[in-house]
Structure 1
Amino acid sequence: MAAAYGIHLGNSSACLASFNNGTASVIANDAGDRVTPAVVALNGTEWEIGLPAKSGQPSSKAIIKHNKRLMNCDFNEDDLSYVESSSSCRIQNDEKLVYEFETSETTLYSNPDSIAMKIYAKLFTIASHSMSNESDLKLVLAAPLHWSNASRERLVKCAELAGFDVLQVISEPAAALLAYNIEENPEDINVLVYRLGGSTCAASIVKVSGGFMTIEKNIFRSDLGGQCLTKDLADYIAQEFRQKWKLDPQESRRAMAKLLLHADNCKHVLSTLNSAHVFIESLLDGVDWSQNVSRARFENIISSKISSYIEPAQKLVESFDGQIHKIVVCGGSMKIPKLQQAIANLIPEAEVLSGINPDEVIAVGCAREAGLLLDVPEFSMNDLNTEVEFLGKDIYLKYLDQTVQLFKEGSPAFAQNIQTVDAGTDIKNISFSLHENPESEEFATENFNVENLNKPFTLKATLQPSSVLLQVE
C-alpha cells in the first residue's frame, strides 16, 4: 500500500496534505493547526519545531527562521542578511554555510539542509499518525519556479532523509493550478497565479491548453511579504502602548520580539474575523498590554502598502498580450481580504479562485499530483522527475489508412493518448509508424500481432522523455 501526500515548505510556514478517494485534504498537526510554522529552535539542549519554536520566550533559545531562502543554491547576500536579522543564531558563511545555535547549556552547529530535514521529519510524524495502517508515504513537493535543479534536489534529499518517498518536484504555480483542477478546463485559458508569502512574492501567468500548462511570464520579488504588514501592525500597537504608558517598546529588542509574535497572530485572526484581541504579558518593564484591534483599523494601517503589493501582478498583466480568465491566490498573506479584493479589482472580468485557504493551496495541488502519479502504476518512479521536459514538435501516428495527431508540440513527458483502432477481423498484424508531420518519413515503427485481440481494440501511447511507448489492449 502507498499513501499520496503533498508538502509545501515555505519561508514562514509548511503545509501537509493527503490524497484519498479522489479528494485532497489538509492534515492538521498535533496542535490542531492546519499550517505549521517553518521555525526551528534550540531550547537548552532540546530541538523545537513549529509552534513551540515560534512561541515561548525568544530570548531563552536560539531560533532560525526563513531557512528556505538558504536552501536555494543561488542565494545572495540579501537572503543571508535577511535570515540572520530575523533569527537569533549566528550564521557562518566561509567555505560552507553553518548555523551556530548557542544557548545557556550548549552550542550546536547545523546547516540549512539539516534544518529543512527537521521540519520534514515533523511533517512525516504528522502524516504517519494520520494513517490507519502502515503504508509507504509517497510525496510530491513544490519548489519556486526560479529554483535550479540542484536546489530542488536538496529539497528531495531532505524529505527522503525524513522518511518520505519523493515522486516528483513541481513548480509552485503548477501546484496552485492543480489544486483547483484547472488543467481539466476544456477551453484554452490564461491564469494569473499570485503568491504572497511571509517574505517573498511571485506572480505568474500560465497558459492552460488541452490539459498542459505553459508559463508565459513570471516575476519574483524577495523584498515583498507579509512580514512588512506584521511590522506595521506591531509599530501601531507599540505607538498605542507608548501613548498610554510613556514607555517605548521599540527601544527593547525583547519587547519588539514579543510584539511581532502577537501582531502576527493578530493579523491571521483578522483574516477571518472582524476583530482580534491582543494580550501581551509583561510587554515592557513588567507592564501588561491588552487591546482590541478591528479589521477596519488593520486595513487602514496597511492601506498605504497595498499598491506596492499589487505592483508585481500589475506589471505582469500590463506586459501580457492576452486576456486573463482566472486568478489563483496563494500564500499565507493572501488570506487578508483587503489584498484579495485589490487583486480582484486589478482584473475585474477575471474569476478569482479562493475556495481553498491560500496558505494551503500549493500543498493541496502537490497532494493531488501525488494521487495522479500513484494511479499510473506502469510508470517507473525510480527516476525522479524534477524538471518536466516538453515536446519540441508535433508527433503523428499512421496505421492502415489512418493519420492522427498523437501529441501536440509542448506536451509534457508522460502525457498519454488512447486511440480506438477499428481493424477488420481478418487482419492479423498492424504496423504503427510515428512521424513529425503527416508527409515526413517515419522516425519509429512498431508492429503488433492483433489476431487474438477483441475488435475494436485500443492503442495507448505514452510520451516518455526520449521515446514514445505504444501498447495495445
Structure 2
Amino acid sequence: MATAYGIHVGNSSGCLAAFANGTPTVIANDAGDRVTPAIVALNGSEWEIGLPAKSGQPSSKAIIKHNKRLMNCDFTEDDLLYVEASSSCRIQNEENLVYEFETSETTLYSSPDKIATKMYAKLFTIASHSVGNDGDLKLVLAAPLHWSSTSRERLVKCAELAGFDVLQVISEPAAALLAYNIEDTTEDINVLVYRLGGSTCDASIVKVSGGFMTVEKNIFRSDLGGQCLTKDLAEYIAQEFRQKWKLDPHESRRAMAKLLHHADNCKHVLSTLNSAHVFIESLLDGVDWSQNVTRARFENIISSKIPAYIEPAQKAVESFEGKISKIVLCGGSMKIPKLQSAIANLLPEAEVLSGISPDEVIAVGCAREAGLLLDMPESSFTDINTEIEFLGKDIYMKYLDQTFKLFKQGTPPFSQNICTVETDQDVKDISFTLHENPNSEEFAVESFNVENLSKPFTLKATLQNSRISLQLEEQKC
C-alpha cells in the first residue's frame, strides 16, 4: 500500500507527517528537527533550503522568507512589502512576480512557485528516505481558508513538480480538527480553532455535526504573528548589550540579523523550558554576548502584546451565539504557554486540546485525511478541491394553515427532518410548498393523496445536493 503523507507549509515553517498502521506520525528532517524553516537561500551558486538557509552568515546569502504570502493569487501590496522587508533579495513586480537572487558569484531569477517547489522537494526527499521504496508518495495539503481555488491549484502544481501525488487540498481549520478526530464525535459541537503562525493569525469557529464541518465564523489577520514577539525579545537583548558595552546593535544590519536569529531560537526554547541561554559570537565590533533569559522575563516583555493576539479570537467568540466546547491551538507561536493560557481563559468552560504540538497539528490532520482517502480505493478523486455544498438559505415549508422552518442555512447535504403532520380524518389530499422565507412565493410544490393513510402521519424531508425530497409514511406504534 502506498504511504500517505500530510504537509503544511506556512510562512515561517513546514511540517511533514506520515500515516501508517492507523496512526499519523511526524517525520523529522535530516537535522533531526520535526519542523523545517520555510526559508530558501542562494549561497554563492548553491541553493539552501530549511535550516542551512536560516543559519550561517546572512550577509553572504540572498534569502527569501514568507514566500507563501505571494503564493496567494490575491496577495496585497502589504504582503509584497512584508516579504521584501523580511528577505534579502529584490522583488520585481511588473508583468510577473520575480525574485532576483544576487550573490558574489552569480545572479539568478526565480518565481514564488519555483521557490515553493524547492521547499516541497526538500520535504519529498525527507519523505522518500523515510519510506525506503520507490512507491508513489500520496499527499494531502492544507491551504488557508480564505485562499481561492486558483491559489490552491498553484500549491498542488508545486507539490506535484516536487514528486508528490496530491490527493486533496483541505483548509487549515479542517486539518486541525482532523488531527484530533473531532469529526467523529457523535454530538453536535462548536470548536474554536486558533492559529498563530510567524506572521499571520486566524480565529475560526467550526460547527461539527454528523461528520460534517462548517466554518461559522472566521477572522484573518495578516499583521499579527510570532515575529512581533521575536522582535520584542531582540530589542530587549539589544538594550542589555547597549547598557553594558555602550554599543548599539541597531547601527549594524548584520548585528540585528544575528540578534533576531538568536532571539527566535531563544523564544522556542522558552516554550518548553524555564530559561534559555543566549550566546552570540561577535555581535558587534568583535564583542561576544552571553546572557540567560528566563521565561518569566520573556512573558513580561510580551505581556503588552497579549490583548492584541487575543482580539481575533475574542471577536469571533462574541459574534457567535452558540456554546463553544473545544479549543484547538495550532501554529508555531501557540507553543508559548502565556498565549495558550490567554486563549484558554477566554473560554474557561471549553476543553483545550493540546496533545499535539501546535506547529505539527495541521500536518498531522492532513496525514490522517490522506490515510482515510487511501482507505477508500474504489473512490476516484477527479477534483482535489473536494467541497461540500451546504444549504445557502433557510427553507420554510407550508401546508394547510401551518408554516415552519424545514432546514436552516448551513445544513449539510443528506440531512433529514422528520415531523408529525396533524390533519382532519376526512382530508384526502395535501400539498406541501417550499419557500425561502415565510412571505415569499413557493419554489417547489409536492402533493400527496393521504386518503388511505392513518392520521396523523409522518413526513420525512431529505436535503440532497440540489433538491429536497419529501416522503410520507404512517406513524410507527
Q: Report the TM range for the smaller structure's normalisation.
A: 0.7 to 0.9
Aligned match of 2:90: 90
Aligned length: 419
**Cα RMSD after superposing both structures:** 2.6
Q: Secondary structure at the match of 1:202?
A: strand
The answer (yes or no) to whether the contact 2:149–2:385 under 8 Å persists in 1 is no
Aligned match of 1:54: 54
Deviation at 1:465, TM superposition (A): 10
Structure-2 separation of matches of 1:384 and 1:465: 21
Aligned match of 2:249: 249
Aligned match of 1:451: none
Structure-2 separation of matches of 1:43 and 1:441: 75
* Equivalent runs, 1:2-401 vs 2, <5 Å: 2-390=2-390
Aligned residue type for 2:149:
N
The answer (yes or no) to whether the contact 1:149–1:387 under 8 Å persists in 2 is no
Structure-2 separation of matches of 1:393 and 1:186: 25
In structure 1, the gaps of 5 or more residues are 395-406, 418-435, 443-462, 467-473
The answer (yes or no) to whether the contact 2:59–2:254 under 8 Å persists in 1 is yes
Structure-1 separation of matches of 2:46 and 2:279: 28
Structure-2 separation of matches of 1:164 and 1:298: 41
State the structure with more CA Rg. Answer: 2
Q: Secondary structure at the match of 1:41?
A: strand
Aligned match of 2:403: none
Query: 1:167 and 1:390, CA in 2 relative to 1: closer, same or farther beyond 3 A?
Result: farther
In structure 2, the gaps of 5 or more residues are 395-406, 417-433, 435-444, 449-463, 468-477
Deviation at 1:135, TM superposition (A): 1.8
- 1:64-110 per-residue CA deviation (whole Å, 9 max, x = no partner) reads 00000000000010000000000000000001000000000000000
The answer (yes or no) to whether the contact 2:11–2:198 under 8 Å persists in 1 is yes
- 1:108-138 per-residue CA deviation (whole Å, 9 max, x = no partner) reads 0001000000000000000000013332111
Moved more, 79-88 or 127-136: 127-136
Q: Secondary structure at the match of 2:217?
A: strand
Aligned residue type for 2:246:
K
The answer (yes or no) to whether the contact 1:142–1:169 under 8 Å persists in 2 is yes
Deviation at 1:250, TM superposition (A): 1.2
Q: Secondary structure at the match of 2:352?
A: strand
The answer (yes or no) to whether the contact 2:100–2:109 under 8 Å persists in 1 is yes
Structure-2 separation of matches of 1:465 and 1:328: 33
TM-score of the pair, normalised by structure 2 = 0.83
Structure-2 separation of matches of 1:188 and 1:123: 37
Structure-2 separation of matches of 1:72 and 1:370: 23
Structure-2 separation of matches of 1:21 and 1:165: 20
TM-score of the pair, normalised by structure 1 = 0.84
Deviation at 1:392, TM superposition (A): 6.8
Aligned residue type for 1:91:
I
Structure-2 separation of matches of 1:22 and 1:387: 25
Aligned match of 2:453: none
Structure-2 separation of matches of 1:102 and 1:147: 31
- 1:397-425 per-residue CA deviation (whole Å, 9 max, x = no partner) reads xxxxxxxxxx9996768x999xxxxxxxx
Q: Secondary structure at the match of 1:146?
A: coil
Structure-1 separation of matches of 2:311 and 2:411: 32
Aligned residue type for 1:117:
T
Q: Secondary structure at the match of 1:223?
A: coil
Identity over aligned residues, as a percent?
85
Deviation at 1:464, TM superposition (A): 8.6
The answer (yes or no) to whether the contact 1:149–1:386 under 8 Å persists in 2 is no
Aligned match of 1:447: none
Aligned residue type for 1:247:
L
Query: 1:217 and 1:392, CA in 2 relative to 1: closer, same or farther beyond 3 A?
Result: closer
Q: Secondary structure at the match of 2:28?
A: coil
Deviation at 1:322, TM superposition (A): 1.2
Structure-2 separation of matches of 1:371 and 1:363: 12
The answer (yes or no) to whether the contact 2:3–2:138 under 8 Å persists in 1 is yes
- 1:136-158 per-residue CA deviation (whole Å, 9 max, x = no partner) reads 11100000000000000000000
Aligned residue type for 1:290:
S
Structure-2 separation of matches of 1:391 and 1:304: 43
Query: 1:317 and 1:391, CA in 2 relative to 1: closer, same or farther beyond 3 A?
Result: closer
Structure-2 separation of matches of 1:308 and 1:393: 34
Structure-1 separation of matches of 2:291 and 2:141: 40
The answer (yes or no) to whether the contact 2:389–2:465 under 8 Å persists in 1 is no
The answer (yes or no) to whether the contact 1:169–1:387 under 8 Å persists in 2 is no
Aligned match of 2:439: none
Query: 1:74 and 1:275, CA in 2 relative to 1: closer, same or farther beyond 3 A?
Result: same
The answer (yes or no) to whether the contact 1:98–1:109 under 8 Å persists in 2 is yes
Structure-1 separation of matches of 2:447 and 2:270: 64
